[in-house]
Amino acid sequence: MEHQRKVYQRWAPIYDRVYRGLLRDSHRTVAKLAAEAGHDILEVGVGTGLMLPYYPKQCRVTGVDLSEHMIAEARKKVARDGLDHVVALHVMNAHRLEFADRSFDAVCLPFVVTLIPDPERALDECARVLRLGGEIIIASKLGDGRGIQGVIEEAVAPLVHKVGWSSAFRISRISEWAERRGNFEVADIRRTFPNGFFKVMRLKHRPASV
């Protein structure tokens, strides 16, 4: 976690210039899907707030991030661009979300789930703060471990880790989490720019039938 904080302290001033274009398609897709699930939205790992302008204005968005330096950039963006739909930004660890149960209609994790030391624990937290029938929406480089791409992803993983990314995270890790819980279904997996390199995954909460 300390490693992540240090890496993103260095990234904070230049992150937008490097990633805005590369992540735009995924960001737009996630924000649109979240807004379709409802207006109260939590964004985990909000970073510099690159995705914040893409939520429709009627949303009420709360963002959290481990890095105070990334959050500081997000705060500047919200003030500068008048993003009034952003209601709060907090420094917070995805492992322990300081919100009451069933607070949000959608919880988004754009380009963060693969970086969290215990992603299942973070997903449990997302599930806890989600309302009945809500959605968890994840965007990341999610591989299936197959073929030459799987071999390359494993090989470059230590290198990629140094710059605060992850390459070897398997999509099955998330679907297995959903299966184990029994009350989430994988509703959709979309391939996004560039050429399906990133994926957006929608997990829908299935309330227990009475």
Ligand X SMILES: C[S@@+](CC[C@H](N)C(=O)[O-])C[C@H]1O[C@@H](n2cnc3c(N)ncnc32)[C@H](O)[C@@H]1O
Q: Is 203 in the site for ligand X (CB under 6 A)?
A: no
Binding mask 103-132 for ligand X (x = CB under 6 A): -------xxx--xx----------------
Sole window of 39-47, 52-60, 146-154, 170-178 interacting with ligand X (rule: CB under 6 A): 39-47
Round the CA-based radius of gyration of the chain to a whole number and report it: 16
Q: Is 143 in the site for ligand X (CB under 6 A)?
A: no
3-state secondary structure of 40: strand
The answer to whether the CB of 80 falls within 8 A of the CB of 37 is no
Q: Which is nearer to ligand X, 126 or 203 (CB)?
A: 126
Q: Is 134 in the site for ligand X (CB under 6 A)?
A: no
Choosing from 50, 123, 126, 136, the residue that interacts with ligand X (CB under 6 A) is: 50
Distance in angstroms (rounded) separating the CA atoms of residues 97 and 197: 29
Residue 205, amino acid = H
Q: Which is nearer to ligand X, 94 or 127 (CB)?
A: 94
Distance in angstroms (rounded) separating the CA atoms of residues 56 and 35: 7
Q: What minimum distance in Å lies between the beta carbon of 86 and ligand X?
A: 14
3-state secondary structure of 46: coil
Distance in angstroms (rounded) separating the CA atoms of residues 1 and 67: 10
Sole window of 63-71, 150-158, 174-182, 185-193 interacting with ligand X (rule: CB under 6 A): 63-71
Q: Which is nearer to ligand X, 44 or 129 (CB)?
A: 44
3-state secondary structure of 90: strand
Distance in angstroms (rounded) separating the CA atoms of residues 109 and 121: 13
Binding site for ligand X (CB under 6 A): 4, 8, 19, 23, 44-47, 50-51, 65-67, 70, 93-95, 110-112, 115-116
